[in-house]
């Protein structure tokens, strides 16, 4: 099962998306509109500048790279609160940025936790930018080609 962070904001700006692209669990290809030209592989820095027109339009649902189930569990246990789970079609409740920000501010020590510090930093940025947040769980397991 793949777990990602799903975020949305009706009026996000290109600047918001550029900040997300530099955050943990995000890459430029996640905030760029799909194109027919091949994109660099995950983890390889993109050196060319992305124009505003290439970025996802305002209101588009955005998901992060995969987040380990153990990281999610450790984060929610340390925070003392569970984030809602939503579907790919944005069905389900999203946690409002203000509500999550209040939870994060009450636990600043999580920023330096080696297991969940990057997730904490990402969620701090996401809430600062005003995005609503939820978990997306993709339950479709990919079978190995040689295994049937």
Residue 146 in any domain: the answer is no
Q: Please, how many CA atoms are within 13 Å of residue 55, restricted to the half-sphere of its CB? A: 19
Residue 87 in any domain: the answer is yes
Residue 40 in any domain: the answer is no
Residue 20 in any domain: the answer is yes
The whole-number pLDDT of residue 89 equals 75
Distance, in Å, from the CA atom of 129 to the CA atom of 109, rounded to the nearest integer, reads: 21
Number of domains in the chain: 1
Residue 38 in any domain: the answer is no
The whole-number pLDDT of residue 145 equals 47
**Tokens found for residue 128:** 């600062």
The whole-number pLDDT of residue 147 equals 45
Burial class (CB in 10 A: 0-12, 13-18, 19+), 51: exposed
- Each residue's pLDDT tens digit in the chain (148 positions)? 789 999 999 999 999 999 999 999 999 999 999 865 555 555 555 445 788 999 999 989 999 999 999 999 999 999 999 999 998 776 778 999 999 999 999 999 999 999 999 999 999 999 999 999 999 987 654 544 444 4
Q: For residues 73 and 123, is the Cβ–Cβ distance under 8 A?
A: no
Residue 43 in any domain: the answer is no
This prediction has a pTM of 0.82
Residue 118 in any domain: the answer is yes
The whole-number pLDDT of residue 2 equals 82
Domain of residue 77 covers 2-33+58-139
Q: For residues 17 and 131, is the Cβ–Cβ distance under 8 A?
A: no
Residue 147 in any domain: the answer is no
The helix/strand/coil state of 55 is: strand
Q: For residues 23 and 121, is the Cβ–Cβ distance under 8 A?
A: yes
């Amino acid at each position: 099962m793949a777990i990602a962070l799903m975020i949305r904001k009706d009026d996000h700006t290109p600047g918001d998306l550029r900040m997300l692209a530099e955050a943990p669990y995000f890459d430029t290809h996640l905030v760029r509109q799909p194109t027919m030209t091949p994109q660099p592989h995950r983890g390889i820095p993109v050196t060319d500048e992305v124009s505003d027109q290439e970025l996802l339009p305002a209101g588009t649902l955005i998901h992060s790279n995969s987040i380990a189930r153990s990281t999610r569990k450790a984060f929610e246990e340390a925070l003392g609160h569970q984030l809602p789970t939503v579907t790919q079609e944005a069905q389900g409740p999203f946690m409002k940025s203000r509500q999550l920000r209040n939870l994060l501010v009450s636990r600043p020590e999580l920023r330096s936790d080696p297991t969940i510090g990057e997730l904490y930093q990402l969620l701090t940025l996401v809430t600062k930018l005003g995005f609503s947040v939820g978990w997306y769980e993709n339950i479709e397991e990919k079978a190995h080609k040689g295994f049937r």
